[in-house]
Amino acid sequence: MEILGLSSLATVVLTGLVAGGVELLKRLFDKDWRASATIVVAAIIGGLGGLVFGADFLVGMVFGLATSGYITIAQNVAKK
């Protein structure tokens, strides 16, 4: 991703963020409120954690949502 000017960390976080966002959207369209709430809570906890550890709330939310995306990726890899 050096061609795009993204660091390795940014690439990994962006990948998880997209996976988490897409999974949240899928769950909302499927009216799976439990899974949707779980993803939203992960983002909120990430935001609060960001504040506790001296980062910005939005940065923490990005990491929380990305973590949810990593879980989705891991579950899909485990199925195959």
Comparing C-alpha atoms, which of 11, 30, 6, 26 is closest to residue 72? Answer: 26
Tokens linked to 80? 């195959």
**10 in any annotated domain:** no
**5 in any annotated domain:** no
Which tens digits make up the pLDDT trace of 24-64?
999 999 999 999 999 999 999 999 999 999 999 999 999 99
Comparing C-alpha atoms, which of 15, 1, 6, 23 is closest to residue 62? Answer: 15
**80 in any annotated domain:** no
Number of domains in the chain: 1
Tokens linked to 12? 């990994």
**What is the per-residue pLDDT for 5?**
79
What three-state secondary structure class fits 40? helix
Does residue 32 come out as left (phi exceeding 0), alpha (psi in the -120 to 50 range) or beta? beta
In this structure, are residues 59 and 50 in contact, taking their beta carbons and an 8 Å threshold?
yes
**23 in any annotated domain:** yes
Residue 10 has pLDDT above 90, yes or no: no
Q: What is the pTM of this model?
A: 0.84
**57 in any annotated domain:** yes
